[in-house]
Amino acid sequence: MIRLLLPQQNARVQLLQKKHLDYIRDPQSFPTAKIDWTNLMETQQDQSYPLPLRFVFEPAVDGEIELIGANGERRVYPAVAGEAFAYNLRIGETYRWCVRIGEACSETYCFYTDAQAPRMLYVEGISNVRDFGGFMTASGKRVRQGRIYRTSELDTHVQITEKGKATLEDELGIRTDMDIRGIKDEPRRPILDEEKVKWVNYPLAAYADCFTEEQRRLYGESYSQLTCEDRYPMIIHCWGGIDRTGTWLYILGGMLGVSADDLCLDYEMSSFSRWGRRSRFSEQFLAFLRGLSKYGENTAEACSGFMKSCGMTEEALDRIKELLLEEI
């Protein structure tokens, strides 16, 4: 008889590390020094990974874990000596699991993942990977998971492994790699399989440097990618996935109706990566918010107004909302 031990029946499991949860409950967002976002300094300490989900069963022999999500998605994990680990589950979702040992199959247990955003992910070889989905909006809708992922670069200062590539291409099903490096002739090139993933490059600037006429044109061209359903799922990255990527996603999230507090939190969660701390109270970030405020009276209006100044129409913004928001 196969006995399931962990996760227990109807358990609620947490995928964030304790240090992540502590920060979410009490953000330590003290001002930081100015960041040179095209020449990042590495700390060599990377704490941007989620917890793995541990499966345990008896007898402690080799077998297979079968995991089924709420949408019917099925994953199989090899188990060694009665144990297996899984990464990158969705937050706020119901899962069922069982164990197969040869021809024998266990009963099926159910567990729930905690819904706390952000959804942090593990992709071997790179850093600072998160799903932009999971945040609530003022309209009561939620940003869809599995549509847009923020990451560090895949090459140059870090190097994605073959296993990491498989995570992006096959497990997460990435179809667009939006590389926003290049403002100062940084090396950039497609790294993923071009038969599976379309590589697009827009040399974007971060913070208040995004408000020039040329940058608004480039921001508009990059946001136009979001109106095409076949572009999803996509990753967006600069070097660290922090400054330029954070600016781009703050504006997008504000237009979708995500609160300023959640957008600032998501920005600051990049402090757990290997490229140093970020703060909503840094002069660079505050200068960005001051510039953005000229486009509207609140976060949603300002971000929508900026995107319209980049050439996006109201119809295009509605299309992006249709593709990225879901009822709950």
Please state the three-class secondary structure of the chain as a single string. Answer: CCEEEECCCCEEECCCCHHHHHHHHCCCCCCCCCCCCCCCCCCCCCCCCCCCEEEEEECCCCEEEEEECCCCCEEEEEEECCEEEECCCCCCCEEEEEEEECCEECCCEEEEECCCCCEEECCCCCCCEEECCCCEECCCCEECCCCEEEECCCCCCCCCCHHHHHHHHHHCCCCEEEECCCCCCCCCCCCCCCCCCEEEECCCCCHHHHHCHHHHHHHHHHHHHHHCHHHCCEEEECCCCCHHHHHHHHHHHHHHCECHHHHHHHHHHHHHCCCCCCCCCCHHHHHHHHHHHCCCCCHHHHHHHHHHHCCCCHHHHHHHHHHHEECC
Together in a domain, 157 and 298: yes
pLDDT of residue 32: 86
pLDDT of residue 185: 85
Domain termination site, one of 116, 145, 165: 116
Together in a domain, 169 and 247: yes
pLDDT of residue 169: 98
pLDDT in tens, the chain (328 residues): 999 999 999 999 999 999 999 999 999 888 888 999 999 988 878 999 999 999 999 999 999 999 999 889 999 999 999 999 999 999 999 999 999 999 999 999 999 999 999 999 999 999 999 999 999 999 999 999 999 999 999 999 999 999 999 999 999 999 999 999 999 889 999 999 999 999 999 999 999 999 999 999 999 999 999 999 999 999 999 999 999 999 999 999 999 999 999 999 999 999 999 998 999 999 999 999 999 999 999 999 999 999 999 999 999 999 999 999 999 8
pLDDT of residue 203: 98
Together in a domain, 83 and 58: yes
In a domain, 36, yes or no: no
Cα separation, 150 vs 309, in Å, equals: 24
Domain termination site, one of 100, 116, 132: 116
Together in a domain, 88 and 141: no
Cα separation, 27 vs 17, in Å, equals: 15
In a domain, 38, yes or no: no
What CATH number is associated with residue 128?
Answer: 3.90.190.10
In a domain, 44, yes or no: no
pLDDT of residue 320: 98
Domain termination site, one of 98, 116, 134: 116
What CATH number is associated with residue 9?
Answer: 2.60.40.3780
Query: What is the tally of structural domains in the chain?
Result: 2
pLDDT of residue 137: 98
In a domain, 39, yes or no: no
Q: In the beta sheet, which residues pair with residue 131? A: 119, 149
In a domain, 98, yes or no: yes
Q: Both tokens of residue 323?
A: 């593709």
pLDDT of residue 125: 97
Together in a domain, 127 and 251: yes
Together in a domain, 104 and 172: no
Together in a domain, 5 and 64: yes
Q: What is the span of the domain harbouring residue 210?
A: 122-326
Together in a domain, 138 and 228: yes
The structure's pTM equals: 0.96
Together in a domain, 206 and 302: yes
In a domain, 41, yes or no: no
Together in a domain, 98 and 226: no
Together in a domain, 74 and 103: yes
Together in a domain, 261 and 197: yes
pLDDT of residue 295: 98
In a domain, 42, yes or no: no
